[in-house]
């Protein structure tokens, strides 16, 4: 079984935890060290229990808490070599382990495969976690779906998936024209529709949980993201549980069973 929870999920900060029987990993650390510690505590965990932190990319909303956290704890960090060159300055005393897109490694009893995403960062990735016969995908901050994402995440048991914006809300937002273009570009973020279309491509009746994440606070609303994804779930006749990750507080653990 794998257990998954988010500590925070939005353009203001992202951090999640995934646990197997004997391994606890955090994905991204984009909220303050204090909020990470308190969030983990609420989930019954302590930072000392983390076997490692994996990073998707170096944007502040994914790594802002790293500096303070690394001052307090001896951390094992997993990220690509290019992302490490940026993160190392924040955490000079941490142990870095490089992971390469398309390759897998074992961290404790979790098999971790990272894959390239399409985002305006130096070397952005998403993850596939596998343990005890359960497969869970983690995909955020990508402007489009790439073939390898479809291949790796087909038939998974659960997914945390970015559903960043609603195109109408984005176009009508007060945001700068260039920022709107960036978000909607192939190197920006996934819209509700893109997220739902991706689920149409990869999901089958094994899909237990779909957690929508990184919702824009100005250019999306949970009810829009949920309705769009529910359309795909209904169409595919899935019994998947669907929810939006809370923006600024931890969500209760989800169990993904074999
Ligand atoms: Zn982000
Ligand atoms: Zn980003």
d(CA 11, CA 16) in angstroms, rounded, equals 14
Domain boundaries, the chain: 2-245
Split at pLDDT 50, 70, 90, the class of 92 is: very high
Could you tell me the distance, in angstroms and rounded to a whole number, from the CA of residue 9 to the centre of ligand 1? 9
Could you tell me the distance, in angstroms and rounded to a whole number, from the CA of residue 175 to the centre of ligand 1? 17
pLDDT at 40: 98
d(CA 140, CA 216) in angstroms, rounded, equals 12
Q: In what order do the strands lie in the sheet with 134-139?
A: 104-107, 110-116, 125-131, 134-139, 158-162, 209-213, 241-244
Tell me the pLDDT tens digit for each residue of 31-67. Answer: 999 999 999 999 999 999 999 999 999 999 999 999 9
Q: Buried (b) or exposed (e) across 248-257, using 16+ Cβ within 10 A?
A: eebbeebebe
**Token representation of residue 138:** 């983690």
Could you tell me the distance, in angstroms and rounded to a whole number, from the CA of residue 237 to the centre of ligand 1? 31
pLDDT at 23: 98
Could you tell me the distance, in angstroms and rounded to a whole number, from the CA of residue 187 to the centre of ligand 2? 9
CB 127 within 8 A of CB 112: yes
Per CATH, the homologous superfamily of domain 2-245 is Ribonuclease Z/Hydroxyacylglutathione hydrolase-like (3.60.15.10)
- Dihedral class, residue 72 (left if φ above 0, else alpha if ψ from -120 to 50, else beta): alpha
Closest ligand by atom to 188 CA: 2
pTM: 0.97
Could you tell me the distance, in angstroms and rounded to a whole number, from the CA of residue 138 to the centre of ligand 2? 14
């Amino acid at each position: 079984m794998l257990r998954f929870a988010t500590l925070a999920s939005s353009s203001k900060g992202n951090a999640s935890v995934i646990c197997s029987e004997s391994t606890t990993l955090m994905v991204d650390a984009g909220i303050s060290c204090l909020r990470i510690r308190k969030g983990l505590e609420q989930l019954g965990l302590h930072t000392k229990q983390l076997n490692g932190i994996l990073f998707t990319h170096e944007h502040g909303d994914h790594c802002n808490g790293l500096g303070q956290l690394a001052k307090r704890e001896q951390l094992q960090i997993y990220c690509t070599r290019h992302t490490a060159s940026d993160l190392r300055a924040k955490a000079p005393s941490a142990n870095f382990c490089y992971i390469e897109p398309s390759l897998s490694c074992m961290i404790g009893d979790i098999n971790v495969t990272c894959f390239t995403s399409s985002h305006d960062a130096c070397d952005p990735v998403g993850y596939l976690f596998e343990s005890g016969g359960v497969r869970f995908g983690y995909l955020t901050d990508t402007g489009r779906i790439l073939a390898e994402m479809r291949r790796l995440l087909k038939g998974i048991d659960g997914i945390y998936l970015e559903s960043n914006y609603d195109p109408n809300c984005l176009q009508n937002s007060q945001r700068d024209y260039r920022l709107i273009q960036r978000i909607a570009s192939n190197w920006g973020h996934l819209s509700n529709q893109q997220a739902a279309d991706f689920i149409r491509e990869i999901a089958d009746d094994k899909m237990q949980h779909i957690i929508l994440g990184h919702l824009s606070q100005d250019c999306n609303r949970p009810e829009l993201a949920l309705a769009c994804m529910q359309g795909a779930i209904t169409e595919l006749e899935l019994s998947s549980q669907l929810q939006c990750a809370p923006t600024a507080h931890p969500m209760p653990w989800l169990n993904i069973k074999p």
